[in-house]
Amino acid sequence: MSKLHLVFGGRVSDPRTLDFSDLNSIDYVGVFPDYASAEKAWRAAAQRTVDDAEMKYVVVHLHRMLEPSLIPSK
């Protein structure tokens, strides 16, 4: 299975959380086949909004959500 990664971001109500203020205005950067390319896209998107503390971008490991049984146990 591909290790898909989703990169998206938007305005948050508190920069310490992932509580997005307006889900209709989420910026979907894209879905990427590996973490390296997702991180590169995340860095580029975050850099564009570096002066806006209320904007946050994240990388979501979609493959972990699709196949939770593949996550190593601790």
Residue-wise pLDDT tens digits, 8-55:
999 999 989 999 999 999 999 999 999 999 999 999 999 999 999 899
Instruction: Give the pLDDT confidence score for residue 58 in this predicted structure.
Output: 96
Residue 71 pLDDT > 70: no
Residue 74 pLDDT > 70: no
pTM for this predicted structure: 0.83
CA nearest 20: which of 8, 28, 6, 10? 10
Instruction: Give the pLDDT confidence score for residue 37 in this predicted structure.
Output: 96
Strands (DSSP E) contained in the chain are 5-11, 27-32, 55-61
Q: Tell me which residue has tokens 């850099």.
A: 47
> How many angstroms separate the CA atoms of 47 and 44, rounded?
5
Residue 6 pLDDT > 90: yes
